[in-house]
Amino acid sequence: MESLVMSGKKLCVMVLCLYWVHAVTASVTYDHKAIVVNGQRKILFSGSIHYPRSTPQMWPELIQKAKEGGVDVIQTYVFWNGHEPSPGKYYFEDRYDLVKFIKVVQQAGLYVNLRIGPYVCSEWNFGGFPVWLKFVPGIAFRTDNEPFKAAMQKFTEKIVSMMKAENLFETQGGPIILSQIENELGPVEWEIGDPAKAYAKWAAKMAVGLDTGVPWIMCKQEDAPDPVIDTCNGYYCENFTPNKNYKPKMWTENWTGWCTYFGGGVNIRPAEDLAFSVARFIQNGGSFVNYYMYHGGTNFERTSGGPFITTSYDYDAPIDEYGLLNEPKWGHLRDLHKAIKLCEPALISVDPKVTSLGNNLEAHVFKTDSGACAAFLANYDTKSSAKVSFANEQYELPRWSISILPDCKTEVFNTARIGAQSSQKKMTVVRNAFDWESYIEEPASSSEEDSITANALWEQINITRDSTDYLWYMTDVNIDPNEGFIKSGKWPLLTVMSAGHALLVFINGQHSGTSYAGADFPKLTFNQTVNVRAGNNKISLLSIAIGLPHVGIHFETWNVGVLGPVTLEGVNEGTRDLSHQKWSYKVGLKGEDLGLQTVSGSGSVEWAQGSLLAKKQPLTWYKTNFNKPEGNDPLALDMISMGKGQVWINGRSIGRHWPGYTAHGICWDCDYAGSYTDKKCKKNCGEPSQRWYHVPRSWLRLSGNYMVVFEEWGGDPTRISLVKRTTDSVCADIYEDQPTLKNREKLDSGNVIRPKAHLWCPPGQKMSQIKFASYGLPHGSCGNYRQGDCHAHKSYDAPQRNCIGKQSCMVTVASEVFGGDPCPGIAKKLSVEAICR
Ligand SMILES: *[C@@H]1O[C@H](CO)[C@@H](O)[C@H](O)[C@H]1NC(C)=O
Ligand SMILES: *[C@@H]1O[C@H](CO)[C@@H](O)[C@H](O)[C@H]1NC(C)=O
Ligand SMILES: CC(=O)N[C@H]1CO[C@H](CO)[C@@H](O)[C@@H]1O
């Protein structure tokens, strides 16, 4: 990597030279400006798609949609706990077929950034570490610890050698241009200090020694040692600079939204702000941007991290959880990428010159000696738009926006003016009234045969090894017939302190209460009076884990389960401490032992049906059969009538359901302008954090699909329905002065190019009706437009004429199309919504 020591000026010469030298041999290097692939500097747009969060059947289409959205690189983590479920036993099949995933990306002609980690965070169970790793003697994660380093190195080597064996690195003719070692270690170093710093150095050296032929990156790692590139993660990264001037400015995680927690709202990041953050990064000299996530997908099975991360990992990404386009975000970013690629020759050649155009207004100009010129005009003000003068031309800059001028003259894109269409999705019932059968599981209670007992309360994962969410804590309590409360009827208070995450309490087989924590604080206290009687009482506590932590200093030491104290207050002696008496343990549910989620296991119990079907009862298993709905639309289960539990289809877990946890907090109106945070632009407040649960079509047979629901709290399965997700309507919101990529043509021809509204329904659907059209000053957004004071009476004519019966159509946004100007002198727009059928 000779180019590392070159100064800025020499670099240009060097690049030409590299190009010549490497014309025949593949290479990936970097310099101050960019990643250099086969001798050429590149502006690269990258999108995170995590292979286990969708199915192999979905991969080709997801990657094709990313490509059409202007993505050059697919970024994925490698999920260690999926690949090595027990030490030395590897798994690379089905959703974990990493090689296949990378080859699908290669076939689409895209690059790969392989983030091996193997710590991945990612709101994934235990941050991607196998749970067995926690029990390796003497281990401490992510610091200068020999057992940890040995295990981490072994897995990293395993992955690198697999990639090499399949010729997947770019230098071997493959698609991998970058690899990542570790992940966001910087914040840990600040806390732990020297041992973590030593570990970072070691990890970098170990990775570089694996000789992949492509650069390594470390994100959030200011001290990444050469030649490893340190990169930025965050909602904004424009002020980030790498630790050496000869490293490119790269953004490995630009959060397209944020994950959802059970009990929290769903986070939405406006497309205008996301595009603004990207343009801002590029105008400041950035050359690599990754969207985290580009397709978020689903945390199937028990892969959610947490605790309390939802099964949906939609992330408000440009492609939604189900693989459909999230519009207008997908289209707006596609247009942004096109606009920036028009600037590429200038962007990769020089650093920008920044000049002020007024208060909160800036121009960033990339001008080369050979005459290439690209300009970014920025308005950082969150309240008002501005008219600016740049190179003797006038430009109108909406608030909190950046305009892109690939020739320093023609505005082809503004981050706050969305030219792409938006769409409304809907969930339509395709099957309900399933023929359910139920089986109520008896709560476990202590008995003579119990194999695990102790005079202590034990940590949950210590016992379950995370093989299940469930652990029973069982004990006996003797109540003397002379206890005062028996006469007074003033029942004693049972207090159970738990490290998390949810708890069901049973006294003598009767459900006596439920308690659960939240994402802000995973510990919980059960504190209720209980109905104990004279003689022996069986106390059974079902402790439930809801995803292991994925982030935090030494999260391997964090506890789950009932650690006490457990007390009974209001007995003759005052308070009786039960913490140190004899406790028995049972790992998992009886239904899990019997394999009720499988057809073969289901025969082992008696199921009730018809009028005997159990409803609103805790610890209930339900089963049914159904046929595969026709068509190709994505499917989901509407679980609104259920509480909390898990769902299996043909023996495969689609994840944890918990519609019983409603999103607290306030969902304010969302303004795109101003710095985005995960407190902003939430939706679903007061409704379940997650109501719909993705059912992959490829998991279904034509008929006889076996579905099992385990319900912890109690619910009504008769109201569960299978729904399909389709596009209901498409919308466009186009300003008459909107910059468009077509403006390039204006420059060449001298003609004024009028902006156009483009609408298109998904394949197989046509526009059946214009639900709304207004040329003037309409209000609202897709799905709830309203006419404003200024409205052209012939607004509906052109959309109806051009669009009805078509899959796609265009409407020019100009007064004469709508029968004249309804309010002269005022900048107007067209808002139109068409129903797709
Ligand atoms: C973990 O389990 C072992 C028995 O398998 C026990 O000796 C130990 O005390 C437990 N530790 C904790 C923290 O519960
Ligand atoms: C349990 O509730 C009682 C009264 O309802 C209260 O006095 C006590 O502080 C509570 N204990 C805990 C640990 O919350
Ligand atoms: C680099 C960066 O911006 N990090 C921020 C990412 O977002 C989280 C949560 O909103 C912040 O805590 C980080 O500081």
Q: 238 an active-site residue?
A: no
Q: If you take atom 9 of ligand 1, which residue's CA is the nearest one?
A: 458
Q: Is the pLDDT of residue 1 over 90?
A: no
Q: Which atom of ligand 1 is least distant from the CA of 462?
A: 1
Which residues have a Cβ under 8 Å from the Cβ of 321 and sit 6 or more positions away?
A: 296, 297, 298, 312, 313, 314, 694
Residue showing tokens 């004071």: 789
Q: Residue length, the chain?
A: 837
Q: If you take atom 11 of ligand 2, which residue's CA is the nearest one?
A: 527
Instruction: Supply 559's token pair.
Output: 């506890």
pLDDT of residue 256: 79
Cα distances from 628 to residues 54, 425, 486, 722, 726, in angstroms, run 19, 21, 57, 10, 17
pLDDT of residue 503: 98
- Report yes or no: 572 and 480 within 8 Å, Cβ to Cβ: yes
Instruction: Supply 476's token pair.
Output: 């006996």
Q: State the Cα–Cα distance between residues 71 and 505, nearest whole angstrom.
A: 51
Q: Given ligand 1 and candidates 134, 455, 462, which is best to mutate, with the most ligand atoms within 8 Å of its CB?
A: 462
258 confidence band (pLDDT: 50, 70, 90) = confident
pLDDT of residue 154: 98
**The residue type at 809:** C
Q: State the Cα–Cα distance between residues 688 and 658, nearest whole angstrom.
A: 8
pLDDT of residue 746: 54
Q: If you take atom 3 of ligand 1, which residue's CA is the nearest one?
A: 462
**The residue type at 598:** T
Q: Is 575 in the pocket of ligand 2 (CB under 6 A)?
A: no
**Pick from 288, 376, 445: which is nearest to 739 by CA?**
376
For CA atoms 657, 658, 659, 664, the dihedral sign is: negative
Question: What's the 462 CA to ligand 1 centre distance in angstroms?
Answer: 6
Average pLDDT over residues 23-38: 88
- Report yes or no: 290 and 253 within 8 Å, Cβ to Cβ: yes
pLDDT of residue 677: 87
Q: If you take atom 9 of ligand 2, which residue's CA is the nearest one?
A: 527
- Report yes or no: 351 and 91 within 8 Å, Cβ to Cβ: no
Q: State the Cα–Cα distance between residues 449 and 453, nearest whole angstrom.
A: 10
Q: State the Cα–Cα distance between residues 514 and 479, nearest whole angstrom.
A: 23
Q: Is 536 in the pocket of ligand 2 (CB under 6 A)?
A: no
**Pick from 227, 184, 183: which is nearest to 205 by CA?**
227
pLDDT of residue 409: 94
Which residues have a Cβ under 8 Å from the Cβ of 628 and sit 6 or more positions away?
A: 697, 700, 701, 702, 703, 705
The model's pLDDT over 501-547, given as tens digits with 9 standing for 90+, comes to 999 999 999 999 999 999 989 999 999 999 999 999 999 999 999 99
Q: Is the pLDDT of residue 2 over 90?
A: no
Query: Any bridge partners for residue 826, and if so which?
Result: none
Give the active site residue among 123, 253, 396, 833: 253
The model's pLDDT over 455-476, given as tens digits with 9 standing for 90+, comes to 999 999 999 999 999 999 999 9
pLDDT of residue 156: 98
Average pLDDT over residues 383-393: 96
With H, G, I as helix, E, B as strand and everything else as coil, classify residue 522. Answer: coil
Cα distances from 97 to residues 54, 90, 107, 302, 379, in angstroms, run 12, 11, 16, 18, 46
The C-alpha torsion from 497 through 498 and 501 to 504, rounded to 10°, is -70
What phi, psi does 438 have (nearest 5°)? -125, 155
Instruction: Supply 787's token pair.
Output: 């006419």
Instruction: Supply 200's token pair.
Output: 């970072």
Q: Is 515 in the pocket of ligand 2 (CB under 6 A)?
A: no
**Cα angle: 402, vertex 406, 411; to 5 degrees:** 55
What is the rounded average pLDDT for all residues in the chain? Answer: 94
Q: 301 an active-site residue?
A: no
Q: Given ligand 3 and candidates 183, 222, 235, which is best to mutate, with the most ligand atoms within 8 Å of its CB?
A: 235
Question: What's the 458 CA to ligand 1 centre distance in angstroms?
Answer: 6
Give the active site residue among 84, 123, 184, 327: 184
Q: If you take atom 1 of ligand 1, which residue's CA is the nearest one?
A: 462
26 confidence band (pLDDT: 50, 70, 90) = confident
Q: State the Cα–Cα distance between residues 647 and 711, nearest whole angstrom.
A: 9
Q: State the Cα–Cα distance between residues 32 and 12, nearest whole angstrom.
A: 10
21 confidence band (pLDDT: 50, 70, 90) = very low
The model's pLDDT over 208-232, given as tens digits with 9 standing for 90+, comes to 999 999 999 999 999 999 999 999 9
Residues contacting ligand 3 via CB (< 6 Å): 233-235, 677-678
What phi, psi does 425 have (nearest 5°)? -100, 155
The DSSP-derived string for 253-264 is EEESS---BTTS
Predicted TM-score (pTM) above 0.85: yes
Residue showing tokens 């139109």: 832
Question: What's the 294 CA to ligand 3 centre distance in angstroms?
Answer: 18
Q: Write a three-state SS string for 616-643.
A: CCCCEEEEEEECCCCCCCCEEEECCCCC
DSSP state of 379: E
